[in-house]
């Protein structure tokens, strides 16, 4: 019953049928009760016929006009919806074709490429015609084929993200990518829309950073990394062994305040900072204090260290390679361009550390 529908032509016929039946049933009785003269009755019957025709015409006209108006409004709404769909498709095509990241659509059953954007063509080196004759396996190294097939068989979510995966360009270069995809219907086929993000440089940088961290952590000399304000952000284990302060106790503190012994006077520190603020390297010995209160001698070598934010990983690796000559960020913090990031590394020569008598 929910799907029961009366079409406009059916409604017009039913209304006309009801009107005709009521006219036949009551019009003759009404005329007979009002007119008794036979001559007048015949003339009245003629008028009644014309009245029926006129009333019927007006009724049908009203019903058809209402029905046609609804149909016209429905057609206008359909046209408007079609325009919105076409506009949405144009917007989608614009976002797809002009996306700065490689994108493609592939058939979920055959894995064949159905469409690719210009960035995918430029990145992978294949022409559009070549792409459309290939499958997902054709841009994967052979060793990843089985992994890809398992992933396609096991993953059925509408929205997926996975990776990193290895992709092979036409020139043979292998890159690492993260994949983001969404299930869609394309040209009547079950398909997936894919965006590929090249993370090769990020993975290499992360690998270098892990290597750097391992090297700095294992260094025999104590190393401290401070922020722009001279507050400690990281220390290695040698620093903890030398000073007695665990990393969580040192982080957020100033190296000078943390291990300051009081042996050096204010004039010493004034000359020390004046040297750094002048952009020069300071090299000398200090007497500092461990957590347990014992004093020790250490050799310091400070200099200003500037790391570009745009080359963060390389700059940090450079800092590690120059650990013996890098100092805290006190120097050159004023008057420098804002696009410079600063990291300070202090090297304490633990081999020179001796308890104070």
Averaged pLDDT for residues 122-145: 94
Q: Are residues 212 and 269 in the same domain?
A: yes
Kindly state the average pLDDT of the residues 232-245: 88
DSSP string covering 27-57? HHHHHHHH---HHHHHHHHHHHHHHHHHHHH
What mean pLDDT comes out for the span 188-208?
92
Output the pLDDT for position 86: 72
Per-residue model confidence (pLDDT) at position 18: 79
| Residue 259 is assigned to a structural domain of this protein | yes
Task: With residue 190 as reference, give the H or E element that holds it.
Answer: strand 189-198
Q: Are residues 32 and 109 in the same domain?
A: no
Q: Look up the domain containing 47 and give its range.
A: 8-96
Can you tell me the distance from the alpha carbon of 153 to that of 228, in angstroms, rounded to the nearest whole number?
51
What's residue 304's pLDDT? 59
Average pLDDT taken over every residue of the chain: 76
Tell me, yes or no, whether 47 lies in a domain.
yes
Q: Say how far apart CA 230 and CA 335 lie, in whole Å.
A: 17
Q: What is the per-residue pLDDT across 135-179, written as a single tens digit (0 to 9) for each?
A: 999 999 999 999 999 988 887 788 998 889 999 999 999 999 999
pLDDT tens-digit readout, 56-107:
788 778 877 887 788 888 888 888 888 777 777 777 778 888 889 999 999 9
- Position 146 scores a pLDDT of 92
Q: Round to whole Å and give the CA distance between 261 and 19.
A: 112
* pLDDT tens-place string over residues 273-307: 788 777 777 788 888 889 898 988 877 776 655 54
State whether 249 and 109 are in the same domain: no
Amino acid 8: pLDDT = 67
- Determine which helix (DSSP H) or strand (DSSP E) holds 209, and give its type and residue range: helix 200-217
209 and 344 co-located in one domain: yes
pLDDT, one tens digit per residue, over 327-352 is: 333 333 333 322 223 334 444 333 33
Q: Is residue 170 part of a domain?
A: yes
* Residue 357 placed within a domain: no
Same domain, 38 and 114: no
pLDDT tens for 305-331 read 554 443 333 223 233 333 333 333 333
Same domain, 89 and 184: no
Whether the Cβ atoms of residue 225 and residue 307 lie closer than 8 Å to each other: no
Judgement on whether residues 44 and 177 belong to the same structural domain of the protein: no
Give the domain-ending residue among 96, 124, 153: 96
Q: Do 281 and 348 share a domain, yes or no?
A: yes
Longest alpha-carbon distance in the chain: 149
- The total number of structural domains that make up the chain: 3
* pLDDT of res. 306: 52
Residue at which a domain ends, from 96, 123, 151: 96
What is the predicted pLDDT for the residue at 340?
27
Report the SS3 class of residue 39: helix
For residue 111, what pLDDT is reported?
94
| Overall pTM > 0.75 | no
Domain termination site, one of 136, 167, 198? 198
Statement to judge: residues 246 and 344 lie in one domain:
yes
Q: Can you give the CATH number for the domain in which 159 is found?
A: 3.30.450.20
Q: What is the pLDDT of residues 41-56, one digit of tens each?
A: 667 777 777 777 788 7
Q: Which of 112, 89, 117 is nearest to 196 (CA)?
A: 117
Specify the pLDDT at position 110: 93
Whether 235 and 268 map to the same domain: the answer is yes
Is 127 in the same domain as 258?
Answer: no
Judge if 108 and 241 occupy the same domain.
no
Residue spans of beta strands (DSSP E) within 54-158: 103-107, 113-116
Residues 322, 343 contacting (CB under 8 angstroms)? no
């Amino acid at each position: 019953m929910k799907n029961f529908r009366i079409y406009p032509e059916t409604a017009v016929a039913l209304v006309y049928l009801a009107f005709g039946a009521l006219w036949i049933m009551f019009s003759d009785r009404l005329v007979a009760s009002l007119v008794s003269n036979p001559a007048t009755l015949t003339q009245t019957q003629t008028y009644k016929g014309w009245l029926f025709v006129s009333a019927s015409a007006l009724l049908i006209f009203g019903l058809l006009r209402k029905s046609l108006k609804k149909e016209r409004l429905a057609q206008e709404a359909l046209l408007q919806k079609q325009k919105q769909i076409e506009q949405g498709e144009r917007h989608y095509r614009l976002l797809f074709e002009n996306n700065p990241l490689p994108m493609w659509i592939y058939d979920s059953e055959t894995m064949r490429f159905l469409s690719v954007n210009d960035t995918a063509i430029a990145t992978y080196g294949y022409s559009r015609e070549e792409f459309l004759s290939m499958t997902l396996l054709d841009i994967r190294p052979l060793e990843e084929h089985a992994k890809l097939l398992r992933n396609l068989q096991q993953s059925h979510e509408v929205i997926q993200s996975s990776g990193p995966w290895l992709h092979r360009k036409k020139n043979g270069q292998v890159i690492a990518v993260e994949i983001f995809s969404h299930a869609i219907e394309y040209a009547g086929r079950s398909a997936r829309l894919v965006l590929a993000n090249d993370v090769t440089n990020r993975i290499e940088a992360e690998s270098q950073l892990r290597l750097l961290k391992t090297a700095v952590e294992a260094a025999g000399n104590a190393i401290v990394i401070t922020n722009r304000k001279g507050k400690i952000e990281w220390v290695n284990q040698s620093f903890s062994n030398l000073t007695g302060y665990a990393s969580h106790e040192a982080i957020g503190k100033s190296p000078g305040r943390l291990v300051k012994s009081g042996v050096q006077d204010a004039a010493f520190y004034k000359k020390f900072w004046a040297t750094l603020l002048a952009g020069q390297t300071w090299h000398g010995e200090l007497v500092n204090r461990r957590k347990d209160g014992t004093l020790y001698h250490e050799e310091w070598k400070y200099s200003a260290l500037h790391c570009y934010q745009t080359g963060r990983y390389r700059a940090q690796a450079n800092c590690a390679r120059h650990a013996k000559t890098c100092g805290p960020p006190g120097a050159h913090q004023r008057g420098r361009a804002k696009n410079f990031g600063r990291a300070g590394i202090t090297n304490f020569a633990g081999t020179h550390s001796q308890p104070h008598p």
